Amino acid sequence: MTRKTWLTAFGVATLSLALGGAACSQVPPAPPVAPVVPDAAGAKEAKPVELVVEDQFSRRQDLAAHRGDVVVLVYGDRKGMDSCKELGAKLHVVFHPTAADQTPEKARKAPVVALEGVAAGVRSPDALILPVAAAGNIPGVVKDLIRSQVKKASPEVPVWLDFTGVMEKQFGLRAGEPNIVVFDGVGRLRLKVNGAPDQATTDKLLQTIQNLRAEAAGLNKAP
């Protein structure tokens, strides 16, 4: 694969995934909190996932740094970047509706929808939709070029870069399509979707994210 191909796929397209949330205004509201968290069986026994990568600034990006919030990683290979961009943008606006039609930086800072039942003045757990470019094992010189291109186009918004294939190894990856993993407020894996979700799966995804936010706030306990 040529350097140009990699730069196009993981520089521009991945950046669009990080910033594309501002363009999606026609999205449903976040679902109400359900009484039971989907896929929560065994949550107490599960251990927090350890996941550390770098971004385009060569800064450490650690899943553990986001404890207390629900983290949704949307990832894909170079052929799946466009569909990842679209899905990530829609998910971000569902939980941050004021991000719609905003500039990238304003969209990123849009507040999350507050949860019912959270006391006034208390922060509601966020739903962090984070993009990951699953580049896999590639030559070092290409890594540097990708970082440089993404840094130039996105001087403020971090893009997680997987240069070791850890996303596919730990969570699986369907080539050419978006892949999603959802982590609860303590970093446990609670939902995984490999491939473009259909409507039923999308509904389950949104409900799971909302319920895990409530769980993180102490409103909806894991079994």
Pairing of strands 70-76, 60-62: unpaired
Helix (H, G, I), strand (E, B) or coil at 10: helix
Helix (H, G, I), strand (E, B) or coil at 203: helix
Number of neighbours of residue 25 by Cβ within 10 angstroms: 11
Q: What is the pLDDT along the chain (223 residues), one digit of tens a residue?
A: 444 443 444 433 443 445 444 444 455 677 665 544 445 445 666 899 999 999 999 999 999 999 999 999 999 998 988 898 889 989 999 999 999 988 878 888 999 999 999 998 899 999 999 999 898 888 888 999 888 877 887 787 788 999 999 999 999 999 999 999 999 999 999 999 999 999 999 999 999 999 999 999 999 765 5
Q: State the Cα angle at 141 between 140 and 145, rounded to 5°.
A: 115
Q: Do residues 90 and 27 lie in contact, with contact meaning Cβ atoms separated by under 8 Å?
A: yes
Q: What is the DSSP letter of 60?
A: E
Helix axes 199-216, 81-95, angle to 10 degrees: 50
Q: What is the spatial distance between Cα 142 and Cα 53, in angstroms, rounded to a whole number?
A: 17
Structural domains of the chain ordered from first start: 3-216 (3.40.30.10)
Q: Using CA of residue 50, residue 46, residue 72, residue 10, what is the dihedral sign?
A: positive
**What Å distances lie between residue 125 and 3, 19, 189, CA to CA?**
40, 21, 17
Regarding pTM above 0.75, the answer is yes
